[in-house]
Structure 1
Amino acid sequence: MQPTLKPAAEGLRTRVFQIIFESGTPLAKGFDIALIVAILASVGVVLLDSVVPLRVRFGELFYWLEWGFTGLFTLELAMRLYCLERPFRYLRSLYGVIDVIAILPTWLMLLLPGVQSLVVLRLLRVLRVFRVLRLMQFVGEGRLLLDALKRSVRQIFLFFFSIFIVVIIFASAMYLIESPEVGFTSIPQSIYWAIVSLTTVGYGDIVPVTPLGQAITVVLMLIGYSIIAVPTGVFSAQVIRSIREERYSEEACPGCGHDRHERRAKYCLLCGTWLDEETEDPRAWKDADRNDDAPAIDDT
């Protein structure tokens, strides 16, 4: 969770804080958009530098561009720490860790050549686009998916454990049936073949040649096709359950006992009873006022 951040003091630090950490003003939003463009450009430089012909031709340009971006992001991180009341608290947050990871690979390149490819991790900084473009409402949807995933962990674990047993059985059978010359040199090697066949990838580096082995391969592939829907179905069921719990209340109606009402519902869908027991039904007041205004009936 992102901690609550406060500026260090009034004046320049507060102004810098408003520009860097907020997005309510045009200047602050422009800063965030410029930062995102710089992040994407720096990642693009790393990707282009990995292409050998481009690196041979523009290697020096890519090198200085990367150091330029690293210097820019280092200065930006220093400004963030400068304007904060508790800078180390920010460094321990999610965005703070990402900011450090974004500049660390280039500086480590001075000591460990070859780690500059990790610069692509600064692409994580584009997560700030959620704040810039007012997309934070989608965080709730992501939380719903994570909740569904946590609920289905046991079922998915049981599914993968069952698949592991199937893989071991088929791999052991193929190790006994096929010869080492075609690639089945050990049970672990046969496990690799079984996983490739079960997932219907079929690399073709290990292929059974006997009729029995080919028949077993066909059965394993059919099993692979049939089980694809199992984890998807489990996860989908949990997503639906989370959506229902998010939308519906489990409190029963005091009138008829029905317990599947929308959380914003005020009256029971079946019997019309007022659902909020902590407050009085406004219709009761209207009915009482109506009865008070009705003319009295003389029984004499």
Structure 2
Amino acid sequence: MRDKKDALKEKLYTIIFETDTPAGKAFDILLIVAILSNTILIIAESVDKILKAYGFWILILGWLFLFIFAVEYILRIFLSENKKSYIFSFFGIIDLLAILPVFLGFVFPQLRFLVVIRVLRLLRLFSILKMGRYVDESSHLLRALRASRAKITVFLFTIFFIIIIVGSMMYVIEGPENDFDNIPESMYWAIVTVSTVGYGDISPQTPIGKFISSMLMIIGYGILAVPTGIISHELAHTSMINKGKVRTCSNCKKESNTDEDMFCSKCGTPLNNKK
């Protein structure tokens, strides 16, 4: 009897955790179909006309998907060699968060829509469909973001100061009579304007206010290009590093991005080492 239980447990482990086996791959694909179907169901439930017409079936299917996901979560905990490691892992937390909102929905009804967070489970497609090269590319993007975090931080602080100063100025210039009721409201307008979104719910009426608004919109177009340029540069730099085209001077640590350079442009030291 014990051998049968061990054999069953081993078989279930293979199906649920081993994506390289036919059974494991089939299980993951079926699970992905269930996740996509559940996501579509939750989205459809938020539409009143669909809810009124198919509310009963949406309710039945919703509980069915909840049962499937709950059983899968319990089985993963039961079969995991390191249960604590799975529970506090990224996918373990996602699996739990996909179940909890349904029960919390009895107290806070709108929380049940957060079940769509389980769509993050689709990240498993990278391993199931052998899309490892895309994971490598994503790591390049992450390295570029990390390398540009100092520049991005300075950029964000600059925008923050602009928003505070302009928001305060617009509150003084326009005032509550033109819907600039307070400085936070004026800062909201500044954020919307500098990001070139322009909702139009608040707009300056005075000539000076319109002038400042025009200048802020012009600045906004330039601001949008800054983070794009920073990240694009770091991506190109990361790509050259991976291809071995970036060489670093052993003396002054200055980097060279061209294959033609034989000597450091700063101190003249021969470039014969790769970063």
Q: Same fold by TM (over 0.5)?
A: yes
The one of 238, 241, 249 equivalent to 1:242 is 238
Structure 2 match to 1:129: 125
Structure 1 match to 2:157: 161
C-alpha displacement at 1:243, in angstroms?
1.7
Measured in 2, the distance between the counterparts of 1:165 and 1:269 equals 42
C-alpha displacement at 1:222, in angstroms?
0.7
C-alpha displacement at 1:183, in angstroms?
1.2
Cα displacement string for residues 247-293 of structure 1 (whole angstroms, at most 9, x for unaligned residues) = 2164789xxxx98799xxxxx998xxxx89xxxxxxxxxxxxxxxxx
Measured in 1, the distance between the counterparts of 2:108 and 2:171 equals 44
C-alpha displacement at 1:21, in angstroms?
1.0
Structure 2 match to 1:178: 174
C-alpha displacement at 1:111, in angstroms?
4.8
Measured in 1, the distance between the counterparts of 2:148 and 2:234 equals 7
Gaps of 5+ in 1: 1-8, 263-267, 277-300
Instruction: Return closer, same or farther for 1:196/1:114 CA change in 2, 3 Å cut-off.
Output: closer
Measured in 1, the distance between the counterparts of 2:228 and 2:43 equals 34
TM-score by length of 1: 0.76
C-alpha displacement at 1:78, in angstroms?
2.2
Gaps of 5+ in 2: 263-271
Whether 2:52 is the aligned partner of 1:61: answer: no
Aligned length: 255
Instruction: Return closer, same or farther for 1:60/1:165 CA change in 2, 3 Å cut-off.
Output: same
Whether 2:25 is the aligned partner of 1:29: answer: yes
Matched AA of 1:87:
K
Instruction: Report if the CA contact (8 A) 1:252-1:260 is conserved.
Output: no
Instruction: Report if the CA contact (8 A) 1:13-1:82 is conserved.
Output: no
Over the matched positions of the two proteins, sequence identity in percent amounts to 40
Instruction: Return closer, same or farther for 1:136/1:226 CA change in 2, 3 Å cut-off.
Output: same
Instruction: Report if the CA contact (8 A) 2:69-2:99 is conserved.
Output: yes
Structure 2 match to 1:143: 139
SS at match of 1:206: coil
Instruction: Report if the CA contact (8 A) 2:28-2:128 is conserved.
Output: yes
TM-score by length of 2: 0.83
Measured in 2, the distance between the counterparts of 1:165 and 1:53 equals 46
After superposition, residues 246-285 of structure 1 pair within 5 angstroms as: 246-248=242-244, 250=247
Measured in 2, the distance between the counterparts of 1:223 and 1:269 equals 38
Whether 2:200 is the aligned partner of 1:195: answer: no
Structure 2 match to 1:91: 87
SS at match of 1:11: helix
Measured in 2, the distance between the counterparts of 1:193 and 1:82 equals 52
Whether 2:198 is the aligned partner of 1:219: answer: no
Measured in 2, the distance between the counterparts of 1:45 and 1:109 equals 16
Structure 2 match to 1:206: 202
C-alpha displacement at 1:117, in angstroms?
0.9
Instruction: Return closer, same or farther for 1:251/1:192 CA change in 2, 3 Å cut-off.
Output: closer
Matched AA of 1:68:
L
After superposition, residues 224-235 of structure 1 pair within 5 angstroms as: 224-235=220-231
Instruction: Return closer, same or farther for 1:225/1:82 CA change in 2, 3 Å cut-off.
Output: same
Cα displacement string for residues 151-175 of structure 1 (whole angstroms, at most 9, x for unaligned residues) = 2111111112112222233223322
Measured in 1, the distance between the counterparts of 2:210 and 2:44 equals 44
Instruction: Report if the CA contact (8 A) 2:98-2:117 is conserved.
Output: yes
Instruction: Report if the CA contact (8 A) 2:240-2:257 is conserved.
Output: no
Larger radius of gyration: 1
Instruction: Return closer, same or farther for 1:113/1:186 CA change in 2, 3 Å cut-off.
Output: closer
Measured in 1, the distance between the counterparts of 2:219 and 2:106 equals 51
After superposition, residues 71-82 of structure 1 pair within 5 angstroms as: 71-82=67-78
Measured in 1, the distance between the counterparts of 2:133 and 2:180 equals 52
After superposition, residues 38-57 of structure 1 pair within 5 angstroms as: 38-57=34-53
After superposition, residues 96-107 of structure 1 pair within 5 angstroms as: 96-107=92-103
Measured in 2, the distance between the counterparts of 1:189 and 1:113 equals 30
C-alpha displacement at 1:43, in angstroms?
1.2
